[in-house]
Amino acid sequence: MNFNKSIFENRKELNRPFLVAHRGVCGANVPCNSIASYQIALSQGADVVEIDVSKSKDGRFFVFHPWMEPQFLKSKYLCDLTAEEISSLRLLNQDGVPTSYHVPTLEEVLLLLKDKVYINVDKFWTDVEGISNAIRKAGVEKQVIVKTNVDEKSLEDVAKFAPDFMFMPLVWHKDEVTDGLIKRGINQIGTEILFDKESDPCISDEYIKKMHEKGLLVWANSIIYNEKEVINALHSDDVSLTKGGDAGWGWLIDKGVDFIQTDWLLMLRNYIDKRNN
């Protein structure tokens, strides 16, 4: 990826959606959000790697999904632990067995991904100022895509501390923020759309066309992290793997989305390669 070009230029040259590795590529003995999961994502050809940020009791940033400690660490929450205590923890594999993999610091992950892929920093709202400072210190400003919800506090923090970073608001069902964000001087490059019905306005052909006419990108997810909270109208990884890619990934591609975030990166990549041949 050429980070001296705009993300819009890189998208056009790809002639397909950006492939986003959700929490890296993980499974079996390799935990999500681990250094190994990101190394695998790089080897499998990710265009974007998604990372989650948590903050320790004493203010250090770690790459870990907040509130998932019971599943992946069997420990106290990271916000209640010091950096030293967190460094001694070991992540669990998918069977709940401890591995040799540690919880990486934000600095470690940014260094690993520097100059290689776009980096989607999720949970940016954890500490917009502090995470922004870490991003600048690592020198990955051109690679980073940050996201927040559209509450006023989060948007104020982005405008104050990260107006130059590529920004995407999280939009449920209908986009009511894009026009206002552009006027605020935030560097909005598009929206992450979350929808549970095919009839939701944010996945309509009209909306995606209008976004592209404005020079903005649309991010969709094929991941399922909770079957009770559908974010893709069931055009998911699961349906793509069990009923064929056309029903899931292909449907999103035909809609014209610019990013697909997946837990099955290599399978998605293989599907697109076959589809294009």
Q: What confidence tens digit (pLDDT) does each residue in 164-191 have? A: 999 999 999 999 999 888 788 899 999 9
Q: How confident is the model at residue 64 (pLDDT cuts 50, 70, 90)?
A: very high
**How far apart, in whole angstroms, are the C-alpha atoms of residue 207 and residue 20?**
22
Is the per-residue pLDDT at 216 higher than 90? yes
- Reference 26, options 263, 239, 203; nearest CA is 263
Q: Express each pLDDT in 224-240 by its tens digit.
A: 989 999 999 999 999 99
**How far apart, in whole angstroms, are the C-alpha atoms of residue 215 and residue 210?**
9
Task: Look up the CATH number of domain 7-276.
Answer: 3.20.20.190
pLDDT of 182 reads 77
pLDDT of 272 reads 97
Question: Which residue has 């929808």 as its token pair?
Answer: 195
Chain-wide mean pLDDT for the chain? 96
Domain boundaries, the chain: 7-276
Is the per-residue pLDDT at 155 higher than 80? yes
Helices vs. strands in the chain: H and E counts, helices first:
12, 9
Strand residues in the chain grouped as ranges (E):
18-21, 48-55, 61-63, 118-122, 144-148, 166-172, 190-194, 217-221, 259-262
Residue 224, phi then psi, degrees to nearest 5:
-125, 115
Query: 226-231 long-range contacts, Cβ below 8 Å, gap at least 24?
Result: 230/196, 231/194, 231/195, 231/196
What integer is the mean pLDDT of 31-39?
98
Residue 108 tokens read as 């470690």
